[in-house]
Structure 1
């Protein structure tokens, strides 16, 4: 008789054949882990990912293949619906789990149902963006996350998190209205919190992440989409208590507001900034990147219906 695993790891993947081998190697090297399965949802483009999984003999691994690209929310929902474990772990395909990854996620639910978040430890390739902005921004993000009120931990729900099946049965699937980049995770974390379950950050679950946003152009595009998705979140959850997305008045914020109104594609502006970073002093470069990212986010927030075109 087939015995259900203790945990299910759900991996949404789009064109992930180059990323999956390192993830699978890391999961195969888990130390003293309870039984677990790996479900990779191949989102509409089989670039060799299915063959990788079919040839994977070290793990209880299988794939779900979409005939067309349906997006991350659909991939997550399909994976969780197919999962057999009691602890449901979300793991993006660009993570590099440590040997205690599975056991730490499972152990974090010993005291009852709840949501657990492990922050990313972003690993940057050497680019001007990473050196003048990305690495520092990543450190600030983690510092702010750990310094936030426990009641706001849901804001950090992302690609390294876990719930029990009781949570999934109570809260339900990820919201399919989130179609672009961002905030489908925050939405889910908030819904767990709103349902009365604890959501907490677990420092022991910090996990290396091969970050994709390695240029200002990529980061600004994502900021624009995230800004648009935030507007959707606020419409759905007006009581969530987020700080105002429109910045207050200061010289810096006036620059952000002004640039956000210019009908310029964030990627195009970001590409110009990336070209300039090689020649600018570090401090000046950091400010210009920040201005590009913040104005892209505000532009997406103000004009959510045009974010797709601006991408």
Structure 2
């Protein structure tokens, strides 16, 4: 492992002292293509950072110390990678420059495409922003805390080079509306920069044997399956038969059957009438709601892994084997796979850090279900799966999307959780916008700038589709709708 120490953008010691640190990084990586490299600020303890990332971090990872970078990014990026926790290892492309881990092989893939420049903070964030979606796993570690921000001119430059041009106009509007400032010089200067892109062959990741992380699996795939169901006995029967054919059988299949009619009886007689190659744990309850059902099933599970399933899916007999191989190769603790409907094809090639979570097509480790529960405040509403994903990240874990491990979603025409649930706001004259469940989740998980950016995006969308083209009347109405949503969202918080 090679250590490059820097101060104010220059190498601070060794044969290259006084030279541009990024240029030296390029030279060093070219001469030592198999070596990991640590770039660390002068006088900081490199061994402390090395201990934190482990002895064998992935060649396809980019790790730094904690640094929030710039709050203004929240206006333009609506993702879970902006509101970074400073207490756990957190998956995000946002980087600090006090301490950076990058492998020489990764540097060599981009050095001929990306000019060195003289701003290490801008360079490392640019690399991470461009490569995260191409399968490079990016993290911050809660150490060597830093508060080095992109200046306003650099912020606009960054937005212009890494997002579509229209987002620079949007950022300017947000600064004017929400911060009462008009950085027109930074905006105008940014327009002269070209958008960046890096050619990076993501298909190379299909050779998972090259992916090595510090944490090695301690057990073979030993898993329970949890399935909430309501009114779909035939579809569930087919799911159980698919699970019976698996190369690696589950230990238990936990079924939470729901029917809100207190005089109803179970429709799943085949659970007892037929023989199954795994244990069946069946609870029949008269309370509806996917959050409650999944939490109940989680509490009944005991295996090291929990597979979240829907009751109307179809899978090949190799699903469990494919999941096992993926976990062993990547050492992931949470994996989501595509759940494709008839006629859909997965276009993504190679795994990457996922901004979402599929509550019917994911597998998670026991360490996660021990500390994460589906939020009952989101019952019968929207966003419980995305919220669960945020809980996973805030607990120090990552979610990896595995496009090669696929499930077929049959989309049953009846049953499930389609029964109408009447919310307190449904009869209001002024209907809340957005849904109070969405407002609740966004206030809980996103930054203030992300919430305000979303507010402006929503207003523009609603105005473009509105029959009322009087902007002043629309603004007055939208303000009332937003306030109504915030009011009901606060009540959801009280019932959490």
TM range (shorter): 0.5 to 0.7
Give deviations 1:205-259, integer Å, cap 9, x for gaps.
2211012579xxx8xx9xx999442111012113395762653676x75343559
Partner residue in 2 for 1:189: 389
Q: Which runs of 5+ in 2 are unaligned?
A: 1-220, 422-431, 469-480, 490-496
1:239 aligns with 2:440: no
Cα distance in structure 1, aligned partners of 2:273 and 2:433:
36
Q: Is residue 11–residue 76 contact of structure 1 (8 Å, CA) maintained in 2?
A: yes
CA 1:114/1:247 → structure 2, altered by over 3 Å: closer, same or farther?
Answer: same
SS of residue matched to 1:15: coil
Structure possessing the higher relative contact order (Cα contacts under 8 Å, 6 or more residues apart): 1
Q: Is residue 10–residue 39 contact of structure 1 (8 Å, CA) maintained in 2?
A: yes
Question: Larger radius of gyration, structure 1 or 2?
Answer: 2
Partner residue in 2 for 1:164: 365
CA 1:116/1:159 → structure 2, altered by over 3 Å: closer, same or farther?
Answer: same
SS of residue matched to 2:408: strand
Give the CA deviation at 1:100: 1.6
SS of residue matched to 1:19: helix
CA 1:52/1:257 → structure 2, altered by over 3 Å: closer, same or farther?
Answer: farther
Cα distance in structure 2, aligned partners of 1:24 and 1:225:
40
Which has more helix, going by share of residues? Answer: 1
Q: Quick check: 109-118 or 197-206, which moved more?
A: 109-118
1:207 aligns with 2:404: no
Aligned residue-pair number? 236
1:34-49 equivalence runs, <5 A:
34-44=249-259, 48-49=266-267
The root-mean-square deviation of aligned C-alpha atoms, in Å, is 3.8
SS of residue matched to 1:155: coil
Q: Which runs of 5+ in 1 are unaligned?
A: 124-134, 260-298, 307-311
Partner residue in 2 for 1:284: none
Q: Is residue 50–residue 63 contact of structure 1 (8 Å, CA) maintained in 2?
A: no
Give deviations 1:92-151, integer Å, cap 9, x for gaps.
10111221222233333335452110121113xxxxxxxxxxx7xx77xx66xx59x955
1:6-25 equivalence runs, <5 A:
6-25=222-241
Partner residue in 2 for 1:266: none
1:5-84 equivalence runs, <5 A:
6-30=222-246, 32-44=247-259, 48-84=266-302
For normalisation by structure 2, the TM-score amounts to 0.41
SS of residue matched to 1:18: helix
